[in-house]
């Protein structure tokens, strides 16, 4: 059954004073416990009774007792208030040490390159952190979807985010398998791509990304066509290895298949350079220890660049 809850202003005012008086059956002892004056305790109780609409204590010159309403209020309020204090302590602890659920939104391409090599050591170093990695090509709204941080290429990150560099800049490389290149001549110029099967990426906004190149000081966006459209670079890379067509992918994920001969790099002199990969999160006055621990651990083998707020222009660290 659905219940409707109304948040009342000051609903907890006076509850701690009430609980202390009810435990001690004495206003002065309650005042000493809470480090306030007896008159302040009396005023807090009077205000609470007025708000509730019932007397909570029976007061005489010699003793303090609970009314029936006070007994019932004490029985319900005491465990609830103790739970509230316990919740505050848990939250305070999470603000002081690395612990709790750490949710990250990442593109599938960075998982094998950046995350897989450090996941085991991170989980061993921080056993109180639960690491959840959501691998998706979609550009997530971190706050709305409950993520602590995201990882993306720098040109995809909003200017108001705090961005931490994870990789140097790298080229976007065109690759093809030896099998494919036996069937079709390797392109030597950008225009040659018109005669090739080009594997394309669909962006999170629904558009199909053109292939980007540089020719001298000129940036060129080539509209290509081919048999496959995918939502992530690893799928394009895998299809290129299988000989389906040519693919333009981030250089780091193509290094291994190029090195072992499964792919060949093409049109290298026209390769465009991207800003690199960054971890990003909303600007806050304080970064939670669990996220700070992850950032520090992820960057241990690399540079010691400090996090900084990006301006509208891509930050180069």
How confident is the model at residue 307, as a pLDDT?
40
Average pLDDT over residues 115-119: 90
Tell me the pLDDT of the chain averaged across its residues.
85
Task: Give the separation between CA 180 and CA 178, rounded to whole angstroms.
Answer: 6
The enclosing domain of 63 has a CATH number of 1.10.10.10
How large is the angle between the packed helices 233-241 and 251-259, nearest 10 degrees?
20
How confident is the model at residue 240, as a pLDDT?
98
Average pLDDT over residues 292-306: 69
Task: Give the separation between CA 187 and CA 174, rounded to whole angstroms.
Answer: 10
Same-domain pairing of 256 and 214: yes
How confident is the model at residue 271, as a pLDDT?
96
Distances (CA, A) of 191 to 26, 196, 232: 90, 10, 25
How confident is the model at residue 227, as a pLDDT?
96
Task: Give the separation between CA 62 and CA 64, rounded to whole angstroms.
Answer: 7
Task: Give the separation between CA 53 and CA 49, rounded to whole angstroms.
Answer: 6
Q: Compare 175 and 30 and report the one with higher pLDDT.
A: 175
Contact 198, 225 (CB under 8 A): yes
Angle, CA of 274, 201 and 156, to the nearest 5°? 40
DSSP assignment of 250-301, as one string?
A: EHHHHHHHHHTTS-EEE-GGGBPEE--EEEEEE--SS--HHHHHHHHHHTTT
Task: Report how many domains make up the chain.
Answer: 3
Same-domain pairing of 131 and 177: no
54 phi, psi to nearest 5 deg:
-155, 145
* DSSP-based three-state secondary structure for 202: strand
Tokens of 47: 């205000």
How confident is the model at residue 314, as a pLDDT?
36
Confidence of residue 305 (pLDDT cuts 50, 70, 90): very low
Residue that is written with structure tokens 């435990």 in the block? 23
Least confident of 18-32, 34-48, 218-232, 293-307: 293-307
How confident is the model at residue 310, as a pLDDT?
43
Same-domain pairing of 268 and 290: no
Task: Give the separation between CA 152 and CA 236, rounded to whole angstroms.
Answer: 18
How confident is the model at residue 95, as a pLDDT?
58
The enclosing domain of 205 has a CATH number of 3.40.190.10
How confident is the model at residue 6, as a pLDDT?
39
Domain that holds residue 215: 170-274
Distances (CA, A) of 17 to 13, 20, 66, 78, 82: 9, 5, 14, 11, 14
Q: Compare 10 and 275 and report the one with higher pLDDT.
A: 275
Largest separation between any pair of C-alpha atoms in the chain? 104
Enter the DSSP assignment of 1: -
Least confident of 146-160, 238-252, 253-267: 146-160
Tokens of 113: 């390159």
* 316 domain-assigned: no
Contact 209, 200 (CB under 8 A): yes
Q: Strand pairing partners for 129?
A: 100
Same-domain pairing of 160 and 193: no
Average pLDDT over residues 72-94: 77
* 317 domain-assigned: no
């Amino acid at each position: 059954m659905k219940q409707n809850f109304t948040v009342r202003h000051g609903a907890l005012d006076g509850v701690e004073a009430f609980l202390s008086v009810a435990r001690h059956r004495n206003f002065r002892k309650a005042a000493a416990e809470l480090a306030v004056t007896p008159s302040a305790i009396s005023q807090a109780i009077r205000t609470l009774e007025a708000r509730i609409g019932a007397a909570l204590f029976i007061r005489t010159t010699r003793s303090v007792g609970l009314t029936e309403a006070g007994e019932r209020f004490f029985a319900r309020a005491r465990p609830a208030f103790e739970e509230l204090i316990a919740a505050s302590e848990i939250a305070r602890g999470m603000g002081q040490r690395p612990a709790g659920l750490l949710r990250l939104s990442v593109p599938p391409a960075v998982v094998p390159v950046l995350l897989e090599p450090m996941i085991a050591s991170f989980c061993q170093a921080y056993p109180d952190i639960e690491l959840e990695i959501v691998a998706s090509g979609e550009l997530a709204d971190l706050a709305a979807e409950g993520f602590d941080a995201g990882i993306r290429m720098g040109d995809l990150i909003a200017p108001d985010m705090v961005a931490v560099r994870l990789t140097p800049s790298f080229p976007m490389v065109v690759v093809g398998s030896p099998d494919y290149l036996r069937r079709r001549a390797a392109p030597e110029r950008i225009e040659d791509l018109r005669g090739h099967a080009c594997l394309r990426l669909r962006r999170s906004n629904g558009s199909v990304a053109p292939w980007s190149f540089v020719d001298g000081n000129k940036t060129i966006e080539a509209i290509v066509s081919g048999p496959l459209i995918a939502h992530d670079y690893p799928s394009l890379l895998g299809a290129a290895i299988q000989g389906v067509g040519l693919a333009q992918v981030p250089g780091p994920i193509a290094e291994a298949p190029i090195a072992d001969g499964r792919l060949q790099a093409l049109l290298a002199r026209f390769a465009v350079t991207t800003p690199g990969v960054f971890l990003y999160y909303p600007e806050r006055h304080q970064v939670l220890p669990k996220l700070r621990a992850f950032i520090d651990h992820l960057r241990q083998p690399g540079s010691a660049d400090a996090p900084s707020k990006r301006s509208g222009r891509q930050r180069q660290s």
